[in-house]
Amino acid sequence: MDKRTRQHSTIKRGMLAVTAAALISGCSMQAERPYGDAKIRMQQLTQQLEAGTILVDGTRIVGVPMSTDFNGDVWVPLEHAARALNLKLRDMRDGYAIGDTDVLYQLRMDDRNAKSGSRLIQLPDAPRAIGGKPCMTADSLTALLETPVNWSSTTRELNISPIKDMAISSPRRGISMQMAETEELLNDDSEAEDTDGDYNMQSSSSAAKVVAAARKLVGTPYDFGAASYKDTKRFDCSSFTQYVYNKVGVSLPRSSREQSQKGSKVAPKNLKAGDLMYFYTPGRYESNKIVGHVSIYIGGGKMIHTYGDPGVVIDEFNDYWKGRFLFAKRVL
């Protein structure tokens, strides 16, 4: 074998060795793929968005983008679910919040821990982002909203049972925020307690202090989900009432919905200065009457509250507010 032949043979053997090494390396890399085939299929499935419908007491919201994972669980965009309840979804600093003029629910992506008011809720499935939008399963919506949410894969319809908050708690549910069984219970003034006998001089004095403290804050800017007034010099509707009532030694929860379960129910004809007034958000879905706003009655057919620009204001208890009024409570 001459010199040129030997060199050619050596080069050929070297190329074969490099090729074999590359094949071995490739097989090794393939074996170390970070995701299994099942997980890849699940990711692909959850990205396949199809139109579905949300039903709320007969009202239909069509064209909602929904996706189904390999378990058959449907994932629903939170924005559409909130809208079905006349609520808004807000992107907060550390997650998402759902509410009207204050925060009713809080959650974070990829975290099963959520909040309804100040109460911790354990979700069956952690929320996740699909198509760049925060989504939840029907089971997790049921847990968070504390009302049945059912999915039909045949018709691609998500049925959310209406929520109707009432002033009187029911021991049948393990939560302080209750849903009325009927419209009669919700609107029947006979259920209201005549608390005039309990409205004594001490109550009147405390109410005067509440009203005076509230009036001093007129013009304070509004901020949805506001942190402490000391730090932000801002309020949302329930942090405002919480702050003012704390001035007279009355401790209130953070959300309007939780605050509505404190005190004694008062009929509108018996309203006194210092009573708390609760409202729902009117919209397309009138069957949903969730407490989403609170104000303080200051007498003379007027109330003080905050819900947007220009901040804390005094308003007449006019036809607009009467149209969304749910009930009043006395905590003094």
Interval 11-32 mean pLDDT: 46
Q: Is the pLDDT of residue 94 over 80?
A: yes
**83 contact partners, CB below 8 Å, separation of at least 6:** 61, 89
pLDDT tens digits for range 249-279:
999 999 999 999 999 999 999 999 999 999 9
Q: Report CA 35 to chain centroid distance, whole Å.
A: 33
pLDDT tens digits for range 100-109:
999 999 999 9
Q: Is the pLDDT of residue 319 over 80?
A: yes
What ranges do the domains of the chain cover?
A: 1-32, 44-160, 183-330
Rounded distance, CA 12 to CA 62, Å? 66
Rounded distance, CA 85 to CA 102, Å? 15
Top-confidence range, 14-18, 84-88, 162-166, 180-184? 84-88
For the entire predicted model, the pTM comes to: 0.75
Rounded distance, CA 187 to CA 325, Å? 10
Overall fold of domain 183-330: endopeptidase fold (from Nostoc punctiforme) (3.90.1720)
Rounded distance, CA 227 to CA 93, Å? 12
Query: Which string of DSSP letters, residue by residue, matches 88-112?
Result: EEEEETTEEEEESSSEEEEE-TT-S
Q: What is the pLDDT of residue 300?
A: 96
Range list of H helices, the chain? 3-31, 37-46, 78-84, 138-145, 183-187, 201-215, 229-232, 237-246, 256-259, 319-323
pLDDT tens digits for range 176-231:
334 333 334 334 444 445 555 566 667 788 999 999 999 999 999 999 999 999 99
Question: If 0-12 CB within 10 Å is exposed, 13-18 middle and 19+ buried, where does residue 241 land?
Answer: buried
pLDDT tens digits for range 125-150:
999 999 889 999 999 999 999 999 99
Per-residue CA distances from 18 to 8, 30, 70, 157 (Å): 15, 18, 42, 58
Q: What is the pLDDT of residue 165?
A: 85
Q: What is the pLDDT of residue 145?
A: 93
Rounded distance, CA 10 to CA 331, Å? 95
Overall fold of domain 44-160: Copper Amine Oxidase; Chain A, domain 1 (3.30.457)
3-state secondary structure labels for all residues of 112-147: CEEEECCEEEECCCCCEEECCEEEEEHHHHHHHHCC
Q: Provide the 10 A C-beta neighbour count for residue 289.
A: 24
Q: Is the pLDDT of residue 27 over 80?
A: no
User: Does a cis peptide bond (omega within 30 degrees of 0) precede residue 221?
Assistant: no
